[in-house]
């Protein structure tokens, strides 16, 4: 399957399916006839599992590999600097290309390296996580600053995305759950019938069929693209993609990145936002049924013990999407109909206590 991703600044394709990586050499030959060299950027975990399948595909372009630490540790200034040093030491130039092999963290890092090396060289993503269906669309690339996640970055689009489902078979359960939370998010904010399909068809994330996985990813990618292409630089409706993320980010930060996955935090944030939506927006929704379903899928549905409501509130108000003194939430009027609301501290504290 080929999904066309369109923004005003650039169009590119996401090729999705089993074995799509095999088409990379032909793609490079067709689109980059003067390609001088390929830098493959990956992380330690993915390198061990999958580099042997990707490296031979680039043989013709004298590939060099940079391996970052796995997870969020890839998105530091130090690693960014090391990757650029590797590029310079190996004489990459403006006609070289970066191949990003990994999850969202490697994707964000390598996209930012590509955006800034010699004022920008092309890059191609080979996502290896479910969560990366989210990061592969939208053109946001970034590293972290000690004072904030994703604070140093750019908008930079890949030339193509090769989403090879064979690479996803090695994902551990927690990472499947993390990524699938964003699939569920995409359904909730945009597509009632997709949400119903998920609820009826997905009851075990560990035994997803290729068909279920590819349908879920294709839908998720298309929905993300719908929001982003209408709003490439986050002025309005792109904010709806933040559903579940106000509290989700706060939980993730309070737990310490890496201790509790992004998607698992966002799931708790979505449950909270759904509850607020019932209270404030009159959302009609079978809340108990939803909770039972996601619990069956293995998600935590309560705020982790030990996190204080007051501290979470402070974090939520620091969220860069909040203006000034009140926390901003994406709520749902209906499934598929998001709205943005500012919500008073007292109401939030109250709701968190009864959560
Ligand atoms: P990740 O890249 O850290 O991957 C999660 C873990 O899974 C890592 O330890 C990784 O080594 C391992 N892994 C990856 N592929 C594997 C495979 N096939 N088999 C076994 N293990 C594998 O993170 P992620 O969850 O993919 O993405 C999270 C990151 O994405 C965060 O840094 C977040 O900020 C970013 N993100 C960016 C955007 C965006 O629009 N740019 C959107 C969402 C998230
Ligand atoms: Zn997210």
Instruction: Report CA(106)–ligand 1 centroid distance (Å).
Output: 7
**Residue 225 Cβ < 6 Å to ligand 1:** no
Q: Are residues 243 and 347 in the same domain?
A: yes
**Residue 144 Cβ < 6 Å to ligand 1:** no
Instruction: Report CA(89)–ligand 1 centroid distance (Å).
Output: 27
Q: Are residues 142 and 193 in the same domain?
A: no
Q: What is the ipTM of this complex?
A: 0.98
CB 294 within 8 A of CB 211: no
* pLDDT, tens digit (0-9, with 9 covering 90-100), for 235-289: 678 899 999 999 999 999 898 877 889 999 999 999 999 999 999 999 998 989 9
pLDDT value at residue 232: 55
**Residue 96 Cβ < 6 Å to ligand 1:** no
Q: Are residues 277 and 144 in the same domain?
A: no
Say if residue 286 is exposed, middle or buried (CB neighbours under 10 Å; 0-12, 13-18, 19+): exposed
On whether 70 is known to bind a ligand per the annotation, the reply is yes
Domain interval for residue 112? 2-170
pLDDT value at residue 258: 74
Give dist(CA 138, CA 237) in Å, integer.
13
pLDDT value at residue 6: 82
Q: Encoding tokens for residue 289?
A: 């049924």
Q: Are residues 157 and 237 in the same domain?
A: no
Q: Are residues 33 and 139 in the same domain?
A: yes
CB 256 within 8 A of CB 72: no
User: Catalytic site residues?
Assistant: 119, 140, 182, 224, 234, 238, 242, 245, 249, 262
Q: Are residues 238 and 100 in the same domain?
A: no
For the chain, list residues with pLDDT below 70.
8, 231-235, 319-324
Q: Which of 147, 170, 193 is the last residue of a domain?
A: 170
The label of the residue with tokens 């009864």 reads 354
pLDDT value at residue 136: 92
Q: Which of 170, 185, 212 is the last residue of a domain?
A: 170
Output the domain CATH number for residue 9: 3.40.50.1970
Strand partners, 163: 16
Q: Are residues 201 and 157 in the same domain?
A: no
Angle, CA 241 vertex, CA 235 and CA 246 arms, to 5°: 95
Output the domain CATH number for residue 337: 1.20.1090.10
On whether 75 is known to bind a ligand per the annotation, the reply is yes
CB 111 within 8 A of CB 141: yes
């Amino acid at each position: 399957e080929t999904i066309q991703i369109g923004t005003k600044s650039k169009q590119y394709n996401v090729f999705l399916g089993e074995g799509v990586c095999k088409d990379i050499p032909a793609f490079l030959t067709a689109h980059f006839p003067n390609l001088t060299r390929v830098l493959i950027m990956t992380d330690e975990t993915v390198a061990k599992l999958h580099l042997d399948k990707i490296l031979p595909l680039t043989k013709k372009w004298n590939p060099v590999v940079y391996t970052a630490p796995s997870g969020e540790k890839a998105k530091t200034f130090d690693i960014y600097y090391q990757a650029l040093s590797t590029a310079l030491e190996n004489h990459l130039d403006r006609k070289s290309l970066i191949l990003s092999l990994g999850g969202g963290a490697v994707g964000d890092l390598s996209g930012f390296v590509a955006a800034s090396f010699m004022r920008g060289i092309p890059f191609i993503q080979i996502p290896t996580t479910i969560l990366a269906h989210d990061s592969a669309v939208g053109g946001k690339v970034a590293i972290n600053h000690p004072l904030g996640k994703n604070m140093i970055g750019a908008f930079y689009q890949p030339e193509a995305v090769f989403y090879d489902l064979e690479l996803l078979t090695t994902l551990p359960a927690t990472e499947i759950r993390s990524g699938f939370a964003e699939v569920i998010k995409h359904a909730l904010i945009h597509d009632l019938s997709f949400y119903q399909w998920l609820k009826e068809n997905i009851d075990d994330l560990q035994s997803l069929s290729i068909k279920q996985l590819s349908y879920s990813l294709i839908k998720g990618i298309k929905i993300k693209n719908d929001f982003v292409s209408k709003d490439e630089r986050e002025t309005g409706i792109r904010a709806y993609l933040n559903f579940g993320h106000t509290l989700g980010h706060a939980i993730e930060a309070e737990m310490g990145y890496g201790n509790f996955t992004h998607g698992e935090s966002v799931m708790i944030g979505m449950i909270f936002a759904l509850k607020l939506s019932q209270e404030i927006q009159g959302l009609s929704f079978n809340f108990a049924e939803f909770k039972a379903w996601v619990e069956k899928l293995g998600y935590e549905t309560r705020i982790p013990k030990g996190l204080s409501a007051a501290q979470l509130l402070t974090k939520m108000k620091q969220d860069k999407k909040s203006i000034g003194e009140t926390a901003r939430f994406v709520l749902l009027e209906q499934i598929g109909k998001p709205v943005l609301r500012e919500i008073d501290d007292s109401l939030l504290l109250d709701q968190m206590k009864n959560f």
